[in-house]
Amino acid sequence: MNIKGNNTILITGGGSGIGRGLAEAFHKLGNTVIIAGRRKATLNAVTAANPGIFSEVVDVQKTGKLKAFATKIAAKYPKLNVLINMAGIAKAEKLNEAPDYDAIDSTIATNLTAPLHLTAAMLPLLKRQPEATIMTVSSGLAFTPLVLTPTYCATKAAMHSWSLSLRYQLKDTAVRVLELVPPYVQTELMGKRQANDPKAMPLADFIAEVMNILATQPEANEILVKKVYPLRFAGDFNAKKFESFFEQFNATMAGVFRRIT
């Protein structure tokens, strides 16, 4: 992916967190950036702070409307060649006590169904471009689950699997499939306290490392900052290593989330 100046990029969930960070970073490099989200006021705050970034309102949970949204985007931005499926939610769940069916459904709709639908709807436009990129977003928790957020982790594991299949199916086209795999980052994904949690990677540091990987590792299919390595590679050697890391990781994070939720 050539990150400098020649791209027209759509970023769902671009109004806050990692999505906003990527939008601003790509915009500074001269790319045309469109952020999409359901809260117009949030989008307006980003565009006001970054003249030249465009915005489009869409609620990705309303998956039945994503095909029409893609048609509108294709007509309005015919040179669009990068889709970043950043929109996501994470909710704590106590499955053994009181399952929250709304949390399950909304998490699956936002994190999994929406990017699958939107990508499918945008593919005809992307395939017409000389070069194009689809960036899916999984998580380190796709590989080592955080038991506090079981549905979130399941959707991210599914996104990893789907990304592998999509990349293979598009291998003979001009569309590249990249998978962004964030660690625990200082955003408001799990509430405002997460944005200041010292155990989380500072957002600015994460964005800077991601942009450096994109610029210097053109062969990378998975965009992995070093902070995510322990989660991503915990099970790569043997089951006992994974089980040990899984137990240690969740014991540590249980303490973290008692403080921030």
Catalytic site positions: 152
Contact between 83 and 118 under an 8 Å Cβ cutoff? The reply is yes
From the centroid of its chain, how far is CA 22?
10
> What is the identity of the amino acid at 32?
T
Q: What is the 3-state secondary structure (H, E, C) of the chain?
A: CCCCCCCEEEEECCCCHHHHHHHHHHHHCCCEEEEEECCHHHHHHHHHHCCCCEEEECCCCCHHHHHHHHHHHHHHCCCCCEEEECCCCCCCCCCCCCCCHHHHHHHHHHHHHHHHHHHHHHHHHHHHCCCEEEEEECCHHHCCCCCCCHHHHHHHHHHHHHHHHHHHHCCCCCEEEEEECCCCECCCCCCHHHHHCCCCECHHHHHHHHHHHHHHCCCCCEECCHHHHHHHCCCCCCHHHHHHHHHHHHHHHHHHHHHHC
From the centroid of its chain, how far is CA 223?
11
